[in-house]
C-alpha cells in the first residue's frame, strides 16, 4: 500500500471526491456512516485542524482493526496505520466499534523558552469512545493542529496492577520519502543517518524524532509527547510502517490503576521554518503550576564548563573559572564530575564545594553541580541529596548516567523534576532520553542532553562527528526540544576539521536555554569573538530558518532577541554560498558584524562590518565543515550619536 502511496495521492483524492458522502458534520468533525467488510457498522471520524489543512481519519478496517490516517491539503500524508494498546492480554485496537465523539477547540498562548518567546496552542480535539469485543471500553483522544496530528489512549481501570505489553500504534509514510534518523541507545548519542524510508534498517530500534521530506516543502517528524509514566518510546520500521516500541521494556511493564498513554505525534510542516518552530510537543503537555509559572528563580543563561576542556575540575583553579565566567558575562558555572574527590585540610568534598559556590555568589555567578544518578535512584536518596545541594546555595543540578528508561525510570524523572522544583534548583539531565515536552509543565528543566553533542568532537577519545551531523540533528533531535549540545570550543587540537566560524555558529543554532560552552575560558577571553560571546543570548524571541537551508548540507538560522538579530550558518562537507535576504529587518540602517571562514586558516575569522537595510542581501561563502555568524544591531542615527 505504501509503495504506491506517492503515485496515488491525487488519484485517491479524485476517487474520494467522486463519492457522495452521507455525513453528519459538527464544525471540524465529520462522521461518515458506512458498513465495513468486517460486518460492523463503522462510523469513521474525521477531525480537521482549525484551518482545515490537516484532517485525521479514525476508522476500523475490514478486520475491525482501529486505524488512523492523515491528510494535508486533502492529499495523503500518513496512510492508514494501526492504533492499539495491549493491556492485560487484550489488544485494545482489535475488534472495535467507535462511539459518538465529543468535540471541542483549544486556543491558547503561553510563554516558552527556546526558539521563540510565545507558543501558540490551537487545535481541534475529538474524544472518541471505543468498545472492544467482550465489552472492554476506552477513549481515544485525537487532536488536529494546523501543523500536525496527535493521538493517545485513555483506559479507565480499577486500582489493581495491570500489565502493559506494548502498543500496536504505527505511522505509515511514503516509501520514497527522504528520511533522517539515528539508531536508538539509552542516551540518544548515536550518529545521524540519511536515506529514504525504505532504506531505514528493519527491526532496528530508532531514536525519535525521525524526520521525513515528502515533497519539495513538506516535512513530517515522528515523536511522542507528555510521557510521565510509560517507558521511553523508540521506533522500528516494520515493513511499510514505523511502529512504537519500548527498548527498555520490550516485553511488558506494570502500571497501577487507569492508563493514559503519551501522545503519539506527527508534526506536518510546510517548510523547515514551520518544522523548527512547531509547538506541538509542548502544546500536548499540561501547563505549570501557578507557582512555577510566576517564579523569578528560573533564569535561562550561559555557563562555562570545564570538563570538556580539562577533564575533572581542580579545586585549586575554581576561582579562575568563576572569574572567567564573570568576565564573559555568563550567568553560571558548572562544577562537573570530579568534585567528589576534592579534599582540603579539615574539609571534605562537600565543604570544598560550598566554598566554591559561596565564592561564585560573591561574583554574581550561579553554580550548577554534577551528580551521578546512581547516588539518588530511590525517592528518599534523591530527596536527601538534592536538599543537601540546595542547602549549599547551588542554582541547579546536572544529573548524569541515568538508567535505561523503563516506566519506573520515567516516574523517577518526574520525581526528580518535582523535587528540584520544590527546592528551587534548575535541572539538566545528561545520559538521558529525549524530552517529550514536559518542560512546559516543569519550566525549570531548561535543557537536557539526549544528543550526540560536542564531546564527540574530542580527538583524545577518538570521536569525530560526520560532516553532516550538525546539519541533520537540528531537524531531528532538536524538534523534541532544547538539547545540551555543549557547543563551541576553539582548541586547535579538538577542531577535527571544523572552522572557528562553524564552532561559533553552533552556539547560535543549537537551542539550549541553559547554554553550556565546551571550550576553555583561555580560548574565549581575548578571542576576536569574545565580545560576541559576552552578548549572545540563550533564548530567542523569534527564529527564522533561512532559505537555502537543506537538511544534512547547510543550516542557516536568523534569531531575534529584542531588537538584535543573530545569524548562524552551519555547513556540511561541501563549499557553499548562501544568499541571506534581510527582509526580516525593520526599517532604518543596521550594523552587521560578520564572523566568516578565513579561507587560509580554519582557526581564524574573516571579519567585516557593514551597514545594511531591509532591502539588502548578505552573501556568505562557507568552507567544508565551515560556517558563519552575523550579529545585526540597529545603527544609531547622527542625532543619536551626538546625544551619546
Q: How far is CA 302 from CA 7, 163, 329, 517, 539, in A?
A: 49, 44, 8, 8, 10
**Looking at the predicted structure, is the pLDDT value of residue 532 above 80?**
yes
User: Hey, what's the cell of 135?
Assistant: 465489552
**Measured on CA atoms in the order 630, 636, 642, 644, is the torsion positive or negative?**
negative
Predicted confidence at residue 637, as pLDDT, reads 59
Can you give the CATH number for the domain in which 417 is found?
Answer: 3.20.20.70
What is the greatest pairwise CA distance in the chain?
87
Residues 278 and 392 both lie in one domain: no
Predicted confidence at residue 14, as pLDDT, reads 29
Whether 221 maps to a domain, the answer reads yes
Whether 366 maps to a domain, the answer reads yes
Residues 217 and 300 both lie in one domain: no
Residues 55 and 125 both lie in one domain: yes
pLDDT tens by residue, 237-278 = 999 999 999 999 999 999 999 999 999 999 999 999 999 999
Can you give the CATH number for the domain in which 78 is found?
Answer: 2.70.98.10
Q: How far is CA 7 from CA 3, 142, 196, 238, 481, in A?
A: 8, 28, 16, 21, 34
Residues 276 and 302 both lie in one domain: no
Which neighbouring-strand residues pair with 42? 34
**Looking at the predicted structure, is the pLDDT value of residue 642 above 80?**
no
Q: How many CB atoms lie within 10 A of CB 617?
A: 12
Q: Give me the domain span that covers residue 495.
A: 293-536
Residues 258 and 400 both lie in one domain: no
Residues 271 and 317 both lie in one domain: no
Whether 592 maps to a domain, the answer reads no
Predicted confidence at residue 39, as pLDDT, reads 38
pTM of the model: 0.93
Predicted confidence at residue 464, as pLDDT, reads 74
Whether 483 maps to a domain, the answer reads yes
Residues 383 and 521 both lie in one domain: yes
pLDDT tens by residue, 203-245 = 999 999 999 999 989 999 999 999 999 999 999 999 999 999 9
**Looking at the predicted structure, is the pLDDT value of residue 322 above 50?**
yes
Least confident of 4-18, 509-523, 613-627: 4-18
Boundary of a domain, candidates 536, 561, 580? 536
- d(CA 634, CA 585) in angstroms, rounded, equals 9
pLDDT tens by residue, 562-593 = 999 999 999 999 999 999 999 999 999 999 99
**Looking at the predicted structure, is the pLDDT value of residue 463 above 70?**
yes
Please count the CA atoms within 13 angstroms of the CA of 333 that sit on its side-chain side. Answer: 28
What are the start-end ranges of the H helices in 492-529? 500-509, 521-524
Residues 528 and 395 both lie in one domain: yes
Phi, psi of 530 (to 5 degrees): -55, -50
**Looking at the predicted structure, is the pLDDT value of residue 636 above 70?**
no
Boundary of a domain, candidates 226, 254, 283? 283
For a pLDDT cut of 90, what percent of the chain falls above it?
A: 88
Residues 72 and 200 both lie in one domain: yes
Whether 576 maps to a domain, the answer reads no
**Looking at the predicted structure, is the pLDDT value of residue 38 above 80?**
no
- d(CA 473, CA 510) in angstroms, rounded, equals 9
Mean pLDDT across 620-631: 97
Residues 242 and 342 both lie in one domain: no
- d(CA 219, CA 222) in angstroms, rounded, equals 10
Going by their DSSP bridges, the two strands 161-167 and 253-256 should be labelled as antiparallel
Predicted confidence at residue 1, as pLDDT, reads 33
Boundary of a domain, candidates 536, 565, 588? 536
Whether 351 maps to a domain, the answer reads yes
Q: How many CB atoms lie within 10 A of CB 607?
A: 13
pLDDT tens by residue, 378-407 = 999 999 999 999 999 999 999 999 999 999
Whether 581 maps to a domain, the answer reads no
Number of domains making up the chain: 2
The confidence band for 5, taking pLDDT boundaries of 50, 70 and 90, is very low
**Looking at the predicted structure, is the pLDDT value of residue 21 above 70?**
no
- 12 by Cβ neighbours in 10 Å (0-12 / 13-18 / 19+) ranks as middle
Predicted confidence at residue 16, as pLDDT, reads 29
Whether 644 maps to a domain, the answer reads no
Which neighbouring-strand residues pair with 120? 109
Q: What's the mean per-residue pLDDT of the chain?
A: 92
- d(CA 188, CA 506) in angstroms, rounded, equals 19
Q: How far is CA 68 from CA 61, 90, 149, 193, 263, in A?
A: 10, 19, 10, 28, 14
The confidence band for 103, taking pLDDT boundaries of 50, 70 and 90, is very high
**Looking at the predicted structure, is the pLDDT value of residue 595 above 60?**
yes
Mean pLDDT across 446-453: 97
Distance of CA 477 to the CA centre of its chain: 5
Residues 210 and 347 both lie in one domain: no
Residues 207 and 341 both lie in one domain: no
Altogether, the residues listed in the chain come to a count of 644
Mean pLDDT across 161-184: 97
Give the CA angle between residues 320, 321, 322 to the nearest 5°: 90
Q: Give the helix/strand (H/E) hosting 639.
A: helix 638-643
- Three-state secondary structure call for residue 195: strand
Amino acid at each position: 500500500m505504501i509503495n504506491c502511496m506517492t503515485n496515488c495521492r491525487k488519484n485517491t483524492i479524485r476517487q474520494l471526491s467522486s463519492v457522495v458522502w452521507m455525513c453528519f458534520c459538527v464544525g471540524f468533525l465529520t462522521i461518515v456512516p458506512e458498513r465495513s467488510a468486517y460486518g460492523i457498522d463503522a462510523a469513521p471520524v474525521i477531525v480537521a485542524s482549525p484551518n482545515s489543512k490537516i484532517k485525521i481519519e479514525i476508522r476500523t478496517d475490514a478486520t475491525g482493526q482501529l486505524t488512523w490516517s492523515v491528510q494535508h491539503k486533502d492529499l495523503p500524508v500518513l496512510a492508514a496505520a494501526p492504533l492499539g494498546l495491549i493491556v492485560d492480554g487484550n489488544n485494545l485496537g482489535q475488534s472495535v466499534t467507535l462511539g459518538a465523539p465529543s468535540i471541542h477547540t483549544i486556543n491558547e498562548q503561553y510563554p516558552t523558552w527556546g526558539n521563540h518567546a510565545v507558543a501558540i496552542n490551537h487545535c481541534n480535539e475529538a474524544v472518541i469512545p471505543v468498545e472492544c469485543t467482550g465489552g472492554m471500553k476506552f477513549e481515544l483522544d485525537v487532536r488536529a493542529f494546523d501543523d500536525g496530528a496527535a493521538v493517545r489512549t485513555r483506559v479507565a481501570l480499577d486500582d489493581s496492577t495491570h500489565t502493559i505489553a506494548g502498543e500496536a500504534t504505527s505511522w505509515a509514510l511514503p516509501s520514497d520519502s527522504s528520511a533522517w534518523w539515528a539508531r536508538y541507545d539509552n542516551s540518544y548519542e548515536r550518529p545521524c543517518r540519511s536515506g529514504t524510508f525504505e532504506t531505514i534498517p528493519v527491526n532496528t530500534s530508532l531514536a525519535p524524532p525521525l524526520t521525513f521530506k515528502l515533497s519539495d516543502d513538506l516535512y513530517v517528524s515522528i515523536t511522542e509527547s507528555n510521557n510521565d509514566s510509560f517507558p521511553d518510546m523508540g521506533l522500528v520500521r516494520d515493513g511499510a510502517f514505523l511502529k512504537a516500541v519500548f527498548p527498555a521494556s520490550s516485553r511488558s511493564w506494570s502500571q497501577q490503576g487507569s492508563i493514559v498513554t503519551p501522545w503519539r505525534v506527527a508534526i506536518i510542516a510546510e517548510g523547515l521554518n514551520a518544522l523548527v518552530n512547531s509547538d506541538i510537543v509542548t502544546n500536548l503537555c499540561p501547563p505549570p503550576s501557578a507557582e512555577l509559572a510566576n517564579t523569578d528563580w528560573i533564569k535561562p543563561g550561559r555557563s562555562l564548563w570545564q570538563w570538556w576542556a580539562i577533564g575533572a575540575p581542580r579545586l585549586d583553579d575554581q576561582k579562575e573559572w568563576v572569574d572567567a565566567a564573570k568576565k564573559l558575562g555568563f550567568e553560571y558555572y558548572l562544577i562537573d564530575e570530579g568534585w567528589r574527590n576534592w579534599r582540603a585540610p579539615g574539609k571534605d568534598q562537600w565543604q570544598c564545594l560550598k566554598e566554591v559556590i559561596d565564592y561564585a555568589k560573591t561574583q554574581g555567578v550561579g553554580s550548577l553541580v554534577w551528580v551521578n544518578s546512581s547516588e539518588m535512584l530511590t525517592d528518599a536518596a534523591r530527596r536527601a541529596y538534592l536538599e543537601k545541594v540546595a542547602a549549599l546555595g547551588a542554582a541547579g543540578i546536572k544529573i548524569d548516567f541515568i538508567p535505561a528508561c523503563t516506566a519506573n525510570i520515567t516516574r523517577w524523572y518526574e520525581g526528580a523534576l518535582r523535587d528540584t522544583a520544590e527546592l528551587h534548583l534548575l535541572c539538566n539531565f545528561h545520559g538521558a532520553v529525549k524530552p517529550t515536552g514536559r518542560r512546559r509543565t516543569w519550566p525549570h528543566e531548561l535543557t537536557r542532553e539526549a544528543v550526540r553533542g560536542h564531546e564527540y568532537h574530542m580527538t583524545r577519545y577518538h570521536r569525530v562527528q560526520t560532516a553532516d551531523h550538525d546539519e541533520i540533528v537540528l531537524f531531528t533531535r532538536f524538534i523534541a526540544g532544547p538539547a545540551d549540545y555543549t557547543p563551541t570550543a576553539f582548541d586547535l587540537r579538538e577542531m577535527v576539521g571544523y572552522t572557528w566560524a562553524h564552532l561559533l555558529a553552533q552556539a547560535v543554532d543549537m537551542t539550549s536555554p541553559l547554554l553550556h560552552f565546551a571550550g576553555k575560558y583561555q580560548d574565549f577571553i581575548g578571542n576576536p569573538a569574545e565580545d560576541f560571546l559576552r552578548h549572545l543570548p540563550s533564548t530567542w524571541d523569534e527564529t527564522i530558518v533561512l532559505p537555502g537551508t537543506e537538511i544534512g548540507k547547510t543550516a542557516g538560522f536568523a534569531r531575534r532577541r529584542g531588537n538584535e538579530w543573530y545569524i548562524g550558518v552551519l555547513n556540511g562537507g561541501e563549499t557553499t554560498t548562501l544568499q541571506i535576504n534581510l527582509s526580516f529587518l525593520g526599517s532604518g540602517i543596521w550594523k552587521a558584524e560578520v564572523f566568516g571562514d578565513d579561507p587560509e586558516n580554519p582557526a581564524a575569522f574573516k571579519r567585516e562590518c557593514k551597514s545594511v537595510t531591509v532591502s539588502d542581501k548578505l552573501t556568505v561563502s562557507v568552507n567544508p565543515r565551515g560556517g558563519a555568524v552575523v550579529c545585526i544591531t540597529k545603527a544609531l542615527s547622527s542625532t543619536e550619536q551626538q546625544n551619546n
